[in-house]
């Protein structure tokens, strides 16, 4: 692969020199343009660059990793994919707080890593650059167009309008993806509004995340407080409305005058019906490939990026960039994630309609030692359906409290 990469680079240099000496205009056609340098975009760029392809990665912000819009809880699966030292804490437990003030505590032997998300994104991008990716920051894409022969991206880099052409384009540019808008004309059907702060408040238990449910702190999702090194990340997600008023209710427990920074945004929790087209693919948040129950998108985004790279490689081998060939991308990521995302999405729709009374009854049903032991045994941050299915099989009565209209 290194030899292939070197050969491609040498050919490009020769062509550019020929252009210079002949005083002729020459447009270099890239192999791949990736829009967005979050974890999914950087991992797609890294994977393709390692294969020897000429990859241009465009990042709209002036700094990779900014603004931070994520709590940064990941499993060791993620840190196994990226060389990083961005972990600021590890947690092994969670306190789940119910509307009546009662709580259960769950614990896992495996540690969940709390990332400094800014540093993690930079490490992802650094790994990509090390593999040969051409990363351009402060490069906001203005339009994307695909023809029978190529994909063309117009972007503004540090105030200057530029145009690049490639054989294929990958949209890794998040919820408001320009690639998706221009080429797919759709968006996720279910979006969570999230509001989060960095707070100087100190959690008593630094080994556990706090999760809050109920109508006072959320609408259709949950609230959280995550011990993150010297700070605590406190946030709320809401479906079908703004999250700020719910956040204020939750943050009253911690102190308004302790806020150090604010971030937030939308989280797509329903994947698109189609994530591929002629000469184009969507990965991560741009495709809605996000865990519906938690809103976490780092792991799922990087898994989708891996399958995108494999599909692009096959397209180059066949010299066929049609959607027929690229459909293997969707088959690939769905083979790993579809059953989990489908179940989580279905359950999240029921979860979003659970009343406070039903939540309190659920607490009574799962707070016994046997149920807690089962949660501890099968719980997995990347595959939450495992614990839900196990609990329902053990306590079928839980289903009654998931039905809409239960008070």
DSSP 24-67: ---PPEEEEEEE--SHHHHHHHHHHHHTT--EEEE-SSSSTT-S
- Contact call for residues 245 and 215 (beta carbons, < 8 A): no
- Greater model confidence, 284 or 7: 284
pLDDT digits (tens, 9 = 90+) for 254-305: 988 899 999 989 999 999 999 999 999 999 999 999 999 999 999 999 999 9
pLDDT at 16 exceeding the cut of 90? no
Q: Any idea where the domains of the chain sit in the sequence?
A: 2-66+118-187+272-348
How far, in Å, CA of 246 to CA of 191, rounded?
17
C-alpha torsion sign, points 15, 20, 24, 29? positive
Confidence at residue 313, expressed as pLDDT on a 0 to 100 scale: 98
How far, in Å, CA of 307 to CA of 312, rounded?
9
Task: Count Cβ atoms below 10 Å from residue 315 Cβ, excluding itself.
Answer: 21
DSSP β-bridge partners for residue 261: 198
CATH number for the domain running over 2-66+118-187+272-348 = 3.50.50.60
Of 369, 285, 274, 287, nearest in space to 327 by CA: 274
For the segment 189-215, the average pLDDT, to the nearest whole number, is 96
pLDDT at 197 exceeding the cut of 80? yes
Confidence at residue 27, expressed as pLDDT on a 0 to 100 scale: 65
Say which DSSP state 282 is in: E
What's the distance, Cα to Cα, between the start and end of the chain in Å? 61
Helix (H) or strand (E) holding 199: strand 191-199
Helix (H) or strand (E) holding 266: strand 259-268
- Give helix 369-378 / helix 356-366 axis angle, nearest 10°: 90
Say which DSSP state 11 is in: H
Q: What token pair was written down for 41? A: 């975009």
pLDDT at 7 exceeding the cut of 70? no
Q: Which of 3-17, 129-143, 237-251 has the highest mean pLDDT?
A: 129-143
C-alpha torsion sign, points 162, 166, 171, 173? negative
The pTM assigned to this predicted structure is 0.91
pLDDT at 324 exceeding the cut of 70? yes
Burial of residue 405, with CB atoms counted within 10 A of its CB: 0-12 exposed, 13-18 middle, 19 or more buried: exposed
Say which DSSP state 285 is in: G
- pLDDT bin (cut points 50, 70, 90) of residue 17 is very low
How far, in Å, CA of 91 to CA of 110, rounded?
9
How far, in Å, CA of 200 to CA of 214, rounded?
25
For the segment 367-377, the average pLDDT, to the nearest whole number, is 90
CB within 8 Å of 152: residues ≥ 6 apart: 144, 145, 146, 163, 164, 165, 166
pLDDT digits (tens, 9 = 90+) for 119-163: 999 999 999 999 999 999 999 999 999 999 999 999 999 999 999
């Amino acid at each position: 692969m290194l030899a292939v990469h070197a050969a491609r680079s040498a050919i490009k240099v020769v062509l550019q020199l020929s252009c210079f000496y002949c005083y002729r205009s020459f447009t270099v056609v890239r192999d791949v343009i990736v829009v967005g340098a979050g974890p999914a975009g950087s991992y797609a760029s890294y994977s393709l660059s390692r294969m020897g392809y000429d990859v241009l990665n465009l990042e709209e912000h002036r700094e990779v990793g900014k603004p931070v819009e994520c709590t940064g809880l990941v499993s060791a699966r993620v840190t196994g994919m990226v060389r990083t030292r961005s972990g600021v804490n590890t947690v092994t437990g969670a306190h789940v707080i119910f509307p009546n003030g009662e709580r259960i505590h769950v614990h896992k032997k495996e540690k969940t890593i709390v990332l400094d998300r800014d540093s993690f994104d930079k490490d992802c991008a650094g790994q990509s650059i090390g593999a040969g990716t051409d990363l351009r920051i402060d490069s906001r894409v203005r339009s994307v167009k695909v023809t029978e022969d190529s994909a063309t991206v117009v972007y503004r880099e540090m105030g200057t309008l530029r145009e690049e052409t490639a054989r294929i384009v990958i949209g890794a540019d998040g919820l408001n993806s320009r690639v998706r808008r221009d080429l797919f004309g759709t968006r996720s059907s279910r979006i969570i509004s999230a509001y989060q702060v960095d707070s100087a408040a100190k959690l008593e238990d630094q080994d556990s995340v706090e999760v809050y449910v109920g109508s006072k702190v959320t609408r259709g999702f949950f609230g959280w407080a995550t011990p993150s090194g010297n700070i605590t990340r406190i946030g709320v997600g809401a479906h079908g409305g703004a999250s700020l008023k719910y956040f204020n209710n939750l943050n009253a427990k911690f102190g308004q005058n302790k806020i150090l920074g604010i971030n937030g945004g939308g989280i797509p929790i329903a994947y698109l019906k189609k994530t591929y087209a002629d000469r184009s693919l969507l990965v991560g948040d741009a495709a809605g490939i996000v865990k519906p129950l938690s809103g976490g998108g780092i792991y799922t985004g990087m898994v989708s990026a891996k399958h995108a790279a494999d599909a692009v490689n096959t397209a180059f081998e066949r010299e066929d960039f049609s959607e027929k060939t690229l459909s293997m991308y969707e088959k690939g990521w769905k083979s790993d994630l579809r059953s989990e995302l489908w179940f989580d999405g279905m359950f999240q729709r029921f979860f979003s309609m659970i009343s406070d009374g039903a939540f309190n009854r659920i607490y009574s049903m799962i707070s016994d030692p046997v149920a807690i032991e089962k949660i501890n045994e099968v719980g997995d941050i990347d595959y939450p359906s495992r614990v839900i299915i196990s609990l329902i099989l053990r306590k079928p009565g839980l289903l009654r409290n998931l039905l809409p209209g239960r008070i």
